Amino acid sequence: KELLRGKILCHASGALTAKEAFPDIEKYGGSGCSVHPLFAVSDKKLAYRELVDVFFAVEGTPACLRPMTEWLRSIGLHAQRMDGSKKRLYHAAAVVASNHVVALFAEAMDMLEACGFDEDAARAALAPLFLGNARHVAEAGPEKALTGPVERGDAATVEKHLAAFAEIGDEDDRALYRLLTKRLLRIAKEKHSERDFAAIEELVSQDV
């Protein structure tokens, strides 16, 4: 326990708070800190090469927040302090932007395969659309990057999409499409306050 006095212990979990990891550390004169890279680590041995522009979320014992943040910034990294009470929401945001995007890409691949594409062709066909759109969103933000039928207020096309899911009996995909379209509507309304999106709202608000 004496070994902890004056020491800073860190962990890199996105879901676990410093308090949860080191509940008694302050009692022994030490500090606990969570330093989480907002990055999908798919290769534990090589991922460090891609951390140059990554944001690190820092939370924990007040005494260690400033030195840890300053140290990260001093070696050219981005560091954002945050409250440990927001850690669950923070990690959920990371999952939505990373893991859920994997699920969406898989859904799109399945849809193209249902149209006659094989798996490799589906992935290759979607890659330019996926990568280009991801770059536009990251660089310009959701509002400027938004395109497609919702952005145009094209209710007829949205209705066709919903009908396509109904034809193949895929209610899960249909429900997912409706939920995501509701979120797109919020962005579209901010981008085009003069447009009437009532018809699309009605379509995606239906329970069946």
pTM comes to 0.83
Q: Is the pLDDT of residue 97 over 80?
A: yes
pLDDT at 208: 46
Closest-CA residue to 81 (of 97, 70, 96): 70
| Three-state secondary structure string covering the chain | CHHHCCCEEEECCCCCCHHHHCCCHHHHCCEEEEEEECCCCCCCCCHHHHCCCCEEEEEECHHHHHHHHHHHHHCCCEEEECCHHHHHHHHHHHHHHCHHHHHHHHHHHHHHHHCCCCHHHHHHHHHHHHHHHHHHHHHHCHHHHCCCHHHHCCHHHHHHHHHHHHHCCCHHHHHHHHHHHHHHHHHHHHHCCCCCCHHHHHHHHCCC
How much of the chain exceeds pLDDT 90, in percent?
71
pLDDT at 46: 75
Better pLDDT: 192 or 171: 192
Q: Residue 1's pLDDT band (boundaries 50, 70, 90)? A: low
pLDDT at 5: 87
pLDDT at 49: 78
Per-chain mean pLDDT for the chain: 91
Q: Residue 166's pLDDT band (boundaries 50, 70, 90)? A: confident
Q: What is the mean pLDDT of residues 1-29?
A: 88
Closest-CA residue to 8 (of 57, 56, 60, 72): 60
Read off the amino acid at residue 95: V
